[in-house]
Structure 1
Amino acid sequence: MRGCRAMEGFECDQEDLEVNSIANRKPIGTNADQQQRAAAMAKSDGCEYFRRTSLFWIVSVTLAMGYFTCTVFVPEKIPFQYLGLFGSFCRYLVDNYADIMYKGWWAAWAVHAFEACVALKVCSNKGIDNMATRCLWFVQTFLFGFASLSLLIKYDPKRPKQH
């Protein structure tokens, strides 16, 4: 295949341009990195399976736990009067049940920690052996709870039967 080098003094015709254009063109809609990842996943036995939880759950759980944390530890920073009925209810809880809310805050994090430990067990049961992947599941489940754990539980590795 001849190259077109008009700048170096060689003549260049339309046929050269078409051949070079076609030869150097990448397929539309494909990416080499995506193809490599897809090939690796096709060969993978599932030991590196990980899915990030949806943005909805990331935002919802982060805001809820953040609000709960502020309500328990720094309620004076929250403008309850601007939150309507919800603010009045939260103010009532802070004024009358602060100790229960504090214990509830610890209980919420304890539940998340328990779910994270369950995620490690589920990883073992489903054949996810890669330590980095298991750590990702543990951290994600600790932070976002069942929103993450449900993704792992739904995963079906479809391993062949062992005789």
Structure 2
Amino acid sequence: MVEAKSEVRRNASTFFRTARPLPSLVTVLMLGYVAWVVLWPQSIPYQSLGPLGSFTQYLIDHHHTLLHNGFWLAWLIHVGESLYAMVLCRSKGITDSRTQLLWFLQTFLLGIASLSILIAYRPKHQKRT
């Protein structure tokens, strides 16, 4: 009986799931493209990108400040989500430092695609005897 309780506690303290591939891919591609647009706009082959290239060129020409501020705001939001993931880890009994680091990094890189898994996680509560 003691082993079963410690096993449940160990599993709850090391709970980690990777984010789903499609939302993760969308997040990485979007952040990567916006980073490219904001940080290296001169290297973008606008004509080769079709309508996306024309739209991107328009945004750079007319709304560069908005793009720049939006890019840094997105990263700031990811930092906030990562810190919130640490709060959730503690409140849900995920105490293993390596697991907490994995949640922090995954949420920093993938945002809500990762955080939603942690929010939905419902650890099994142990009965106290």
Instruction: Please indicate the TM-score interval, normalised by the length of the shorter structure.
Output: 0.7 to 0.9
Q: Secondary structure at the match of 1:57?
A: helix
Q: CA RMSD in A?
A: 1.9
Query: 1:150 aligned to 2:111?
Result: no
> What are the ranges of 5 or more consecutive residues in structure 1 without an aligned counterpart?
1-39
**TM-score normalised by length of structure 1:** 0.70
Q: Return the structure number with greater relative CO, CA threshold 8 A, min gap 6.
A: 2
Pick aligned residue for 2:20 from 28, 31, 54? 54
**Equivalence for 1:113:** 79
Which of structures 1 and 2 has the bigger CA Rg?
A: 1
- Identity among equivalent positions (%) equals 40
- Alignment partners' CA distance in 2, 1:119 and 1:97: 33
Deviation at 1:73, TM superposition (A): 1.1
Cα displacement (A) at 1:162: 5.6
Tell me, in whole angstroms, the C-alpha distance in 2 between the residues paired with 1:78 and 1:161.
59
Tell me, in whole angstroms, the C-alpha distance in 2 between the residues paired with 1:76 and 1:162.
63
* Matching residue of 1:13: none
* Structure 1 residues 161 and 43: alpha-carbon distance in aligned structure 2, compared to 1, 3 A threshold: closer
Alignment map for 1:27-106 (pairs within 5 Å): 43-45=7-9, 46-106=12-72
Structure 2 counterpart of 1:122: 88
Structure holding more helix per residue: 2
Q: Which residue of 2 aligns with 1:134?
A: 100
How far does residue 131 in structure 1 lie from its aligned partner after superposition?
0.8
What runs of 5+ residues in structure 2 fail to find an aligned partner? none
Q: Which amino acid aligns with 1:100?
A: L
Rounded Cα–Cα distance in structure 1 between residues aligned with 2:86 and 2:23: 20
Q: Hey, which bits of structure 1, 4+ residues long, moved more than 6 A? A: none
Provide the C-alpha distance between the structure 2 equivalents of 1:110 and 1:99, rounded to a whole number of angstroms.
Answer: 16
* Equivalent-residue separation in structure 2 for 1:81 and 1:161 (angstroms): 64
